[in-house]
Every structure is written in structure tokens, then in C-alpha cells.
Amino acid sequence: MSRSHRSVIPGFGLSLGLTLTYLSLIVLLPLSAAFIKTLGMSWDDFWTAVASPRVVASYRISFLASLAAASVNCVFGLIVAWVLVRYPFPGRRIVDALVDLPFALPTAVAGIALTALYAPNGWIGSLAAPYGVKIAFTEVGIFIALTFIGLPFVVRTLQPIIEELEPEFEEASASLGANRWQTLRRVIFPQLVPALLTGFAMAFARALGEYGSVVFISGNMPMRTEITPLLIITKLEQYDYAGATAIAVVMLGASFLMLLVINLLQKWSRRHHAV
């Protein structure tokens, strides 16, 4: 391989060898252990483990809460990204830095902070409690934690695209008689769609696997507010390694599917902006 592209820069063998060895030991070998473990299960055992009512209920809540959180993040992420790029205001840089807080704040800290806020005696929870509305320890609590976790994905995917928008399109649209709303909707928004979908997919994928920020606020009631990652932990605590691994393999399948979707979206997005 290096014969055809002979490079004068040394270190190919060393760096590639180190990369592949480390990648295999830390990532590929451990991940394959999950698949090898499930190969040892009979089909019936596997199906019982991944399709029992309690497990299916957890897929449902994980999927729906992630979907709702990623959708809300699309709306508000778009507004945040647009404001941060287009409208100068005092403290803009600080706000911009703060958007990454969910990446930097440990998920357990986010989890207990959100629970403290949204519990019936918390700052926000106590506002809703008189109306009989519970936020923490319900599906809504899960949704709030997943929204917190997913926000930076949408904002950070959109920001560079909005920065690179060519003003010529907007000017042309305006000079052809479009009002600002038509320009925003028909000219600018279509250019943002690929990035918006990429951000959505990333936030959704992250939300599916999220654990730390959710366990505190969700209440963890089987069939109602039990997310799939928590169910894996529950099975592990009961020493049901095969059952835990079977669910993990289903989740890994979903994650790899999302990874593929994200890669295709990004390719589409790049092609879109190359034109």
C-alpha cells in the first residue's frame, strides 16, 4: 500500500501499528465480547430477553422521550444558533461558550440538579405542583433531561452552516421582491435542513443511550419510566449477564444504525454545501 503512495514522511508503520493495536484492545475486542456472548444464547432465550413486556416498554419510553427531546432541540437549537451567529448582543461570547455546558457538566451532576429543580418542592416543580402537574419522576422529567443533553449537538452542527451562508442568496431573494419571511422560509431554511437533520440525529442517538442525567429524575418505575440503559444495569445487578447483554446488543444495533444515518446525512450536507 505504501509502495504506490511512497511518502518521504516516516512513521507510517509505527503510527498505524500503534493505532490499530490500541483500537483493537480498547474498542473492538471489548465490543465484540458483547456479540460473542449473545452468540452463546439460544434464539428463544435471546427473544425472551429482548422482547419481554418490560423491556419493550423501556424501548418505547427511551425512543419516544429521545424523539421528543431531539425535536424540541431542533426548534430551539435553530433559534439559538441563528441568534448567536446573526444578532450581536452584549455577552454573546459567554452565552456561546455556555452552550457546551451539557458536554462539560458530568451527567450525574446534571441529573441531580434537574431533579432538584423539577421535583414537587423544587423551584420549577413547585410552580406546577398546585395544578396537579408532576414533572420529575414522570416521562416529562426524562424528556427534560434528554433535552438538556442534546441541545449542543443541534446548535454546534448548525452554527458553522449559518456562518457560511452566502449573503448573495438573501440579497437576490430580497431584490426579486420576496419579503423577509419568504426569504427565511424559502431561501435560508432549505439550506439549513441537512445540518438540522444531522443535529437531530446526533441528539437523538445520544439521548437513546443516556443514563446519568436520566436516572435521578425519571423515578425508574418499571413499564412507565424505566429507560433501556437502566434496565441493563438492573439485569446486571441480578447477575443476569446474558439478559443484559442481549438488550445491549439490540441497543448497539440501534446505535450503529444511527451512526450510519448520521454519516449519510453528513455526506449529504457536505454535497449540499459544495454546490
Partner 1 sequence: MAASAVSSLARSAGVTARPLATRDAPWLRYTLTAVALGFLALFLVLPLVAVFAEAFRRGIGAYFAALNDPDGLHALKLTLLTAGLAVPANLVFGVAAAWCIAKFTFPGKSLLITLIDLPFAVSPVISGLIYVLLFGAQGWYGLYLNAENPWLPGLQAWLYEQDFKIIFAVPGIVLATTFVTFPFIARELIPLMQTQGNDEEYAAITLGANGWQTFWKVTLPNIKWGLFYGVILCNARAMGEFGAVSVVSGHIRGETNTLPLHVEILYNEYQFVGAFAAASILALLALVTLVLKSLVEWAHARRHAASAAS
Burial class of residue 123, CB neighbours in 10 A (0-12, 13-18, 19+): exposed
For partner 1, give the closer residue by CB, 65 or 230. 230
With a CB cutoff of 8 Å and minimum separation 6, the contacts of 44 are none
For partner 1, give the closer residue by CB, 98 or 221. 98
Integer Cα distance of 262 and 273 in angstroms: 16
For partner 1, give the closer residue by CB, 57 or 117. 117
**Nine-digit cell at 83?**
441568534
Integer Cα distance of 61 and 58 in angstroms: 5
Q: How many chain residues interact with partner 1 (CB under 8 A)?
A: 109
**Nine-digit cell at 142?**
426524562
Closest distance to partner 1 from the beta carbon of 134 (Å) = 18
203 three-class SS: helix
Is 131 near partner 1 (CB under 8 A)? no
For partner 1, give the closer residue by CB, 138 or 161. 161
Closest distance to partner 1 from the beta carbon of 61 (Å) = 15
Closest distance to partner 1 from the beta carbon of 154 (Å) = 10
For partner 1, give the closer residue by CB, 138 or 157. 157
Handedness of CA 87, 90, 92, 98 (dihedral sign): negative
Provide the mask over 89-128, with x wherever binding to partner 1 is found by CB under 8 A and - wherever it is not.
x--xx-xxxxxxxxxxxxxxxx-xxx-xx----xxx----
Is 170 near partner 1 (CB under 8 A)? yes
Closest distance to partner 1 from the beta carbon of 117 (Å) = 5
| CB-based contact 49:264 (threshold 8 Å) | no
Is 272 near partner 1 (CB under 8 A)? no
- Which one among 45, 258, 268, 273 touches partner 1, defined by CB under 8 A? 258
Where helices occur in the chain by DSSP H, the ranges are: 12-23, 29-39, 43-51, 53-86, 92-98, 101-104, 107-118, 125-128, 139-163, 167-175, 180-182, 189-209, 212-218, 228-237, 241-274
Provide the mask over 194-233, with x wherever binding to partner 1 is found by CB under 8 A and - wherever it is not.
----x---x--x--xxxxx---x------------xx-xx
Is 177 near partner 1 (CB under 8 A)? no
Closest distance to partner 1 from the beta carbon of 73 (Å) = 10
| CB-based contact 49:243 (threshold 8 Å) | yes
Region near partner 1 per CB under 8 A, out of 50-58, 126-134, 218-226, 239-247: 239-247
For partner 1, give the closer residue by CB, 56 or 264. 264
For partner 1, give the closer residue by CB, 138 or 149. 149
**Binders of partner 1 among 35-64, rule CB under 8 A?**
37
Shortest CA distance to 169 belongs to which of 156, 194, 186, 181? 186
